Each structure stands twice: as structure tokens, then as C-alpha cells.
Amino acid sequence: MLGTTVTGRLKEIKQPRGGLIKKSDFTKELLNPDSKFISLTDESLNPALVGLTVDYLTRYQLYGAEKAFAISRIGLHNLEISTGHFGDQFFLEKIANLNHNLDQTTILTAAELASFDTFYRTGYGNPYRYKNLKLNEVTYEHIKAMVFRTLNFLKQKTDEKKLVTDFNFDGGYTQTIINGDGDFHDNHGLWDLKVSKQQFSTKWSLQIVVYYLMGLHSYAAKIFQQMQTLGIYNPRYNLLLSLDTNKLTPELRQFIDIKIIGY
């Protein structure tokens, strides 16, 4: 078997009906009872790019452009090697357009930069796609609202002084899973961001447990051993699904470790 990413491995797994980690195992919490669903209808960017843009802008608000858009920067570097175009100068010119007020120029620029993410993760795509991106008013308002919802979630539910973003699992990879990175963790919880019209997916629940178990095998194992909560946050609903790590039985952990991750 060739090594793959965490998400690539999950696509290969046929789970039992209801999933290995069921929806009923999670506690469901609407972070604001008055929150309304932010619909995809009338958005002018594709859902995957909207999700990446929300993710990157959240990190931008927390840590600034160079850290938030580091993956896009690597993608642009890869493009420069293969085509002679784009690269670091393009990146620096783009991030000069960003500001923390999240105006329309900032959000469109973030979406443009996010479109280069693929040249890091997969190595292929249309490098000129960014020129055709259109940000209508609906999409602008939706992305801005979801960024603020995500920031509020992190403020409510995490220890921001110990918050780590975009981390890997060095020391925890195997011949089966050779790559994959997480969204957020602090010393008591691991959090995955899903910008989706779905409220739950068995792939999501398995993914965050795989991340947790890989963390326990990684160089950061001491931090993961302290974690009590695995959470999936969806800003379209302002919904947090939380799983107590004590619900993961030794038998389930062993099955995932051996049969899915490859320890």
C-alpha cells in the first residue's frame, strides 16, 4: 500500500452503518441559540474555497498573514519552481492588500491566496483560477460572519494562550499515513473546523479520532495525553460537536491504530 494523507486514507475505509464513532457519541451545542444557518445559496465561490478562506482568515486575525497563509506561500513557491511565475513576490504583493477590518478586498485576496493551497497539497490545478474569482455581497457577508463565529468559538472554548494551529503529527506517521495536519488544539482539546451544510459526517468523526490517536504517537504525545475533548466546529450553524476521549474504548483505539493508521 502506498502512503497517503489522513483524508486520503479515510476515503479508503468502509465504515459500519452509523460509523465507528457515531453521532450519538457527541454532545451537540449551539454556541448562540439565536444563530441562523448561513446558507450556501447565492454564494459566488465554491464551498471548498469558502471553507479554506474562513479557515485562513481566522488564523490571519489571530496570527497575521505570513503564518496564516503559509501553505499558500509554499504552493506559490512550488509554482515558481515549475513555471517560473508567481512565487514569493506575488505572495508579498497579495498580503499587502489584507487588513484586519475584513473588507471586501481582504476577503477576495484571502480567497485568491487560498486557491493556491492545492499546489502544496496535490501539486496540480489551474494557477490562473484566482483571476476568475468573483466575490458577491452575499459571499462577502457570509465569510465575514463565519470568521467572527469561529473566533468567538475559539475564545469561548479554548485556552487561547496555549492554542496551536495548523500542526502536524511528526513521529506519528506510518507507512500507511504519511501526511496530514490538524486545525487547532490546546492542552485540553483537539478541534477540527468544518465549513459545511452538513452537521455531521462519519468521515469527520473518524478523522478527528485518527488525528488524536496519531497525536498520542507523535513527538507531542505528552500534550495529547492531557486532552479530554475532541470537537468539530461548523460556523455555518455555529455548532460544536464534542466527544469525550473517555468514550473511545481500548478495543476501538486498537482497531483504528492497527487497521486504519497502521501502527
Q: What share of the chain is helix, strand, coil (3-state, %, to 5)?
A: 50, 15, 35
What pLDDT, on a 0 to 100 scale, did the predictor assign at position 256? 98
> Cβ contacts of residue 225 below 8 Å, gap of 6+?
216
Mean pLDDT of 125-147: 91
Task: Write the DSSP symbol of residue 230.
Answer: E
Question: What are the grid coordinates assigned to 235, written together?
Answer: 460556523
Write the secondary structure of 180-211 as one string of H (helix), E (strand) and C (coil).
CEEEEECCCEEEEECCCCCCCCHHHHHHHHHH
Confidence grade of residue 1 (pLDDT, cut at 50, 70, 90)? low
Of 125 and 247, more confident: 247
What pLDDT, on a 0 to 100 scale, did the predictor assign at position 84? 77
Residue count (the chain)? 263
Mean pLDDT of 186-215: 98
Mean pLDDT of the chain: 94
Give me the residue spans of the domains in the chain: 1-40+160-263, 45-135
- How far is 27 from 240, CA to CA, in rounded Å? 8
What pLDDT, on a 0 to 100 scale, did the predictor assign at position 86? 82
CA nearest to 132, candidates 51, 57, 55, 45: 45
Helix (H) / strand (E) element for 68: namely: helix 65-68
Question: pTM of the entire structure?
Answer: 0.94
Residue 182 burial by Cβ neighbours in a 10 Å radius (0-12, 13-18, 19+)? buried
User: Residue 2: is its pLDDT beyond 80?
Assistant: no
User: Residue 125: is its pLDDT beyond 70?
Assistant: no
User: Residue 147: is its pLDDT beyond 90?
Assistant: yes
Helix (H) / strand (E) element for 165: namely: strand 164-168
What is the three-class DSSP state of 142?
Answer: helix
User: In what order do the strands lie in the sheet containing 164-168?
Assistant: 27-30, 239-244, 229-234, 189-193, 181-185, 164-168
Mean pLDDT of 221-227: 98
Mean pLDDT of 28-57: 96
